[in-house]
Amino acid sequence: MPENAVSYTDDFKQIVTMIQTARANAFAKVNAELINLYYEVGKFVSLKVSNAEWGEAVVEKLAKFIKDKHPEIKGFSRRGLYRMKQFYETYKDTEFVTTLLTQISWSSHLLILNKTQTIEEKEFYLRLIIKEKLSVRELERQLNAAVYERSLLAQNAVTSLPAHLTDENIFKDTYVFEFLDLPHDYSEKDLRKALVHHLKDFILELGKGFSFVGEEYRIEVGNHDYYIDLLFFHRELRCLVAVELKIEEFQPEFMGKMNFYLEALDRDVKKAHENPSVGILLCKGKDREVVEFAMARNISPTLIADYETRLIDKKLLQAKLHELILLENKVREMGATYKA
């Protein structure tokens, strides 16, 4: 390639970036206008119906009118109009209407309306989409995997992680790897290889911000070599994240090995500007009381999580969450009675 042609490469890339940015901004503006339109149409229909000015027959007539008189306008069938009505009625009393709703595609909104119950759950997924830039397919998986329930349960997990790491829902108490095709009697090596093979899905389950560093990452201490199953770097936390895989229930001795790995990473691998390394012990189940005892005097930032190789029944998670809420309420009542 001639020398003068090579010198234009950076300029060409800059122009392409400008085009891509402009397209993204244009799409965002069009989407915002579309969501605002659906909200306002839903409001109009809702008010007409609630005031007994319109019945179902009128809504059907409106849909037919649009279809017959303006066939170029799509998406305003009877079902579509009622979706817009539902959309308005769901969010009309919330404070985040303009700040969140217009940043999300209509397809994503429909998934959330269909698959969530409370306004808190809806807001959780709205914010998750924006934070992690989830596609519709990725959102559907997060909904099916009950990320909302698992995130709430994770806030009550026994962990030695600093409070800000658990409050921000960066880590989960349970991870779901339904995308793995593991043999019936799989080994830790099988699990590790399968996770690396499905790295994109694995990182999606971990959460955005994780960058893969290596598999069986070697660390040298003294005259010995040791290998961390999986090593990641978290961009927002600015720290290394060591992941150790176990195909059995959590055992207290697992903590010693993880502490050893984290110390080695902090001494020899961590950069001066990075934060202390964090560990995740992924076990096939855990006894909460055993975990609590094991973590009582542990000072290393470590999460003990379990994993499932199939989707968890959402009703079971909801029941578990309900039990936890009842327990917390009971503890508060006992505390109030004691103070009185």
Do 213 and 276 reside in the same domain of the chain?
yes
- Quote the pLDDT of residue 336: 56
Residue 255 lies in a domain: yes
Last residue of a domain, one of 103, 133, 162: 103
Give the 3-state secondary structure of residue 113: helix
Residue 338 lies in a domain: no
Strands 210-221 and 302-308: unpaired
Main-chain dihedrals φ then ψ at residue 141, nearest 5 degrees: -65, -40
**Radius of gyration for the chain, computed over Cα atoms and rounded to the nearest angstrom:** 25
Q: Which of 60, 56, 90 is nearest to 76 (CA)?
A: 60
Do 193 and 283 reside in the same domain of the chain?
yes
Do 167 and 46 reside in the same domain of the chain?
no
Q: pLDDT tens digit string along 15-59?
A: 899 999 999 889 889 999 999 999 999 999 999 988 888 888 898
User: Residue 169 has which token pair?
Assistant: 């829902």
Give per-residue burial for 163-190: e unless 16+ CB within 10 Å, then b.
Answer: eebbeebbbbbbbbbebbeeeeeeeeee
Q: pLDDT tens digit string along 77-90?
A: 999 999 999 999 99
Last residue of a domain, one of 37, 70, 103: 103
- Quote the pLDDT of residue 47: 92
- Quote the pLDDT of residue 208: 81
Residue 89 lies in a domain: yes
Last residue of a domain, one of 70, 103, 136: 103
Do 162 and 299 reside in the same domain of the chain?
yes
Give the 3-state secondary structure of residue 243: strand
Do 289 and 233 reside in the same domain of the chain?
yes
Max Cα separation, the chain?
86
What is the distance between the alpha carbons of residues 203 and 197, in angstroms, rounded to a whole number?
Answer: 11
63 lies in which domain range?
A: 3-103
Do 74 and 209 reside in the same domain of the chain?
no
* pTM greater than 0.85: no
Whether 219 contacts 206, CB under 8 Å: no
- Quote the pLDDT of residue 1: 47
What is the distance between the alpha carbons of residues 233 and 241, in angstroms, rounded to a whole number?
Answer: 6
Do 67 and 158 reside in the same domain of the chain?
no
- Quote the pLDDT of residue 265: 96
Give the 3-state secondary structure of residue 158: coil
What is the distance between the alpha carbons of residues 9 and 6, in angstroms, rounded to a whole number?
Answer: 6
Residues of the chain with pLDDT under 50: 1
User: Residue 15 has which token pair?
Assistant: 């122009």
Do 153 and 264 reside in the same domain of the chain?
yes
Residue 44 lies in a domain: yes
Do 29 and 155 reside in the same domain of the chain?
no
User: Residue 200 has which token pair?
Assistant: 């994109």
Residue 330 lies in a domain: no
Residue 110 lies in a domain: no
Do 174 and 279 reside in the same domain of the chain?
yes
Do 179 and 302 reside in the same domain of the chain?
yes
Whether 132 contacts 207, CB under 8 Å: yes
What is the distance between the alpha carbons of residues 325 and 152, in angstroms, rounded to a whole number?
Answer: 10
- Quote the pLDDT of residue 207: 85
What is the distance between the alpha carbons of residues 304 and 249, in angstroms, rounded to a whole number?
Answer: 11
- Quote the pLDDT of residue 103: 92
Do 64 and 191 reside in the same domain of the chain?
no
- Quote the pLDDT of residue 157: 61
Residue 272 lies in a domain: yes
CATH number at 256 reads 3.40.1350.10
Looking at the structure of the chain, the number of domains it has is 2
Main-chain dihedrals φ then ψ at residue 224, nearest 5 degrees: -125, 145
Residue 19 lies in a domain: yes
User: What is the amino acid identity at position 97?
Assistant: V
